[in-house]
């Protein structure tokens, strides 16, 4: 019987899965990388041949170019294209290569997708270089008023002031803008189901036997074949706990609430227990007749619980401001973001050598 669904297992550990990678999504991630290579190596013979044969304007104008006969290589590249398009963003240099409407260069996707209605002929070919003048934007080139949120996004788009000045293709799901297959895989593996935050990430940090980690992972997914779970899955069985015969057998009941479990925990008294679930413990002496292996296993559990606390403890390191040389000013900056992409903030403080 499959207790945990395959779609759950192939999720990342942050999303509650086991981090196994599904072959189909992995393949699409690698094919999206092929699209990136084709862009970066567009002067190479292989890219020239493919683009000349399958990407001429005459072909693109046809009603459904994807249905025309093509080589397996082109089909593979087309398969990776949607993920490639979702993952890339243009870093603006001189803005000569970036179309204002169709290219993904502001946060949130292409501007064409954010607005409705037709565009004028001369507006359609507008490049970012045309729209920008020094540090200002020439809004008058657009025949209508941009909504405020679009203007804000454009103003918030970073422009390279140094470097070779060329526009760069970047991967928005990595911190350094470089393509990573793992992030492309996550993108390709995102299903329709909303991503729920998994609260059991701590179990992977425990220094314990893998089978105990596995057991905790199953518990957190409610996937131990308890009687209430089996009955919910349509198996005809008696749901009542066979030990106390008073309540249904569920994970919480069996491990915590059942009178037999409570009695076991009470007899298993161990020192230094502080987690709230263990209010059932009393200051009693362990039953000397209790099986030693059982106590040992429980010790492993408490060892790992206390280990988590040690892992999450943070050490504060005090830092202090130091004065710049006389006649100099110092600018200190800092910023933080809540996720990537996500809400972000930043700030700075300029002080002279007197600290004012």
Contact positions vs Zn ion (CB under 5 A) = 241, 243-244, 258
Q: Which is nearer to Zn ion, 187 or 241 (CB)?
A: 241
Cβ 251 to Zn ion shortest distance, Å: 12
Q: Which is nearer to Zn ion, 187 or 258 (CB)?
A: 258
Distance CA 346, CA 335 (A): 4
Query: b/e per residue, 130-139, with b = 16+ CB within 10 A?
Result: ebbeeeebee
Q: Which is nearer to Zn ion, 31 or 241 (CB)?
A: 241
Cβ 264 to Zn ion shortest distance, Å: 11
User: What DSSP character marks residue 144?
Assistant: S
Return the structure tokens found at 211.
């089978």
Does the N-terminal peptide bond of residue 182 adopt cis geometry, omega within 30 degrees of 0? no
> Distance between alpha carbon 245 and the CA centroid of its chain, in Å?
45
Q: Which is nearer to Zn ion, 51 or 244 (CB)?
A: 244
Cβ 25 to Zn ion shortest distance, Å: 42
Q: Which is nearer to Zn ion, 54 or 265 (CB)?
A: 265
Residue 356 CB-density burial (10 A; 0-12 exposed, 13-18 middle, 19+ buried): exposed
Q: Which residue, among 18, 78, 16, 30, has the nearest Cα to 51 in the 3D structure? A: 78
Q: Which is nearer to Zn ion, 62 or 252 (CB)?
A: 252
Cβ 278 to Zn ion shortest distance, Å: 18
Cβ 260 to Zn ion shortest distance, Å: 6
Q: Which is nearer to Zn ion, 142 or 244 (CB)?
A: 244
Cβ 262 to Zn ion shortest distance, Å: 9
DSSP structure string for 240-255: B-TTTSSSB--HHIII
First-last CA distance in the chain: 70
Measured over the CA atoms of residue 35, residue 40, residue 46 and residue 50, the dihedral's sign is: positive
Interaxial angle between packed helices 23-40 and 45-54, expressed in degrees from 0 to 180 and rounded to the nearest 10: 100
Distance CA 92, CA 154 (A): 11
Q: Are strands 343-352 and 329-338 parallel, antiparallel or unpaired?
A: antiparallel
Return the structure tokens found at 145.
């008023």
Q: Which is nearer to Zn ion, 208 or 240 (CB)?
A: 240
Q: Which is nearer to Zn ion, 47 or 231 (CB)?
A: 231
Cβ 237 to Zn ion shortest distance, Å: 15
E-strand stretches of 172-283: none
Cβ 250 to Zn ion shortest distance, Å: 9
Match 């200051």 to its residue by tokens: 283
Cβ 227 to Zn ion shortest distance, Å: 10
Instruction: Give 176's contacts (C-beta < 8 A, 6+ positions apart).
Output: none
């Amino acid at each position: 019987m499959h207790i945990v669904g395959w779609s759950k297992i192939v999720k990342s550990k942050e999303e509650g899965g086991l981090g196994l990678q599904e072959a189909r999504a992995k393949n699409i991630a690698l094919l999206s990388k092929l699209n990136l290579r084709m862009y970066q190596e567009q002067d190479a013979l292989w890219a020239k041949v493919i683009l000349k044969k399958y990407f001429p304007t005459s072909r693109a104008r046809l009603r459904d170019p994807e249905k025309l006969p093509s080589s397996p290589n082109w089909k593979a590249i087309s398969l990776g294209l949607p993920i490639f398009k979702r993952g890339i963003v243009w870093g603006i240099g001189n803005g000569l290569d970036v179309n204002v409407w169709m290219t993904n260069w502001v946060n949130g996707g292409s501007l064409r997708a954010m607005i409705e209605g037709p565009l004028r002929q001369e507006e359609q070919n507008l490049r970012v270089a045309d729209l920008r003048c020094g540090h200002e934007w020439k809004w008058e080139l657009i025949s209508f008023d941009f909504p405020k949120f679009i203007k804000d996004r454009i103003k918030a788009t970073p422009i390279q002031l140094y470097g070779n000045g060329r526009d760069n293709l970047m991967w928005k799901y990595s911190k350094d803008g470089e393509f990573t297959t793992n992030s492309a895989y996550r993108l390709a593996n995102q299903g329709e189901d909303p991503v729920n935050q998994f609260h059991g990430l701590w179990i992977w940090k425990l220094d314990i036997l893998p089978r105990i980690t596995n057991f905790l992972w199953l518990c957190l997914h409610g996937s131990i074949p308890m009687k209430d779970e089996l009955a919910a899955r349509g198996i005809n069985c008696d749901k009542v706990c066979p030990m106390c015969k008073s309540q249904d057998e569920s994970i919480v009941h069996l491990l915590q609430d059942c009178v037999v479990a409570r009695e076991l925990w009470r007899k298993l008294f161990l020192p230094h227990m502080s987690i709230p679930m263990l209010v059932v413990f009393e200051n009693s002496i362990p039953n000397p007749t209790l099986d030693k292996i059982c106590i040992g296993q429980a010790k492993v559990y408490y060892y790992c619980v206390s280990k988590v606390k040690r892992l999450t403890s943070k050490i504060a390191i005090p830092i202090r401001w130091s004065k710049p040389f006389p006649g100099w000013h110092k600018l200190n900056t800092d910023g933080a973001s809540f996720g990537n992409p996500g809400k972000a903030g930043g700030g700075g403080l300029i002080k002279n050598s007197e600290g004012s």
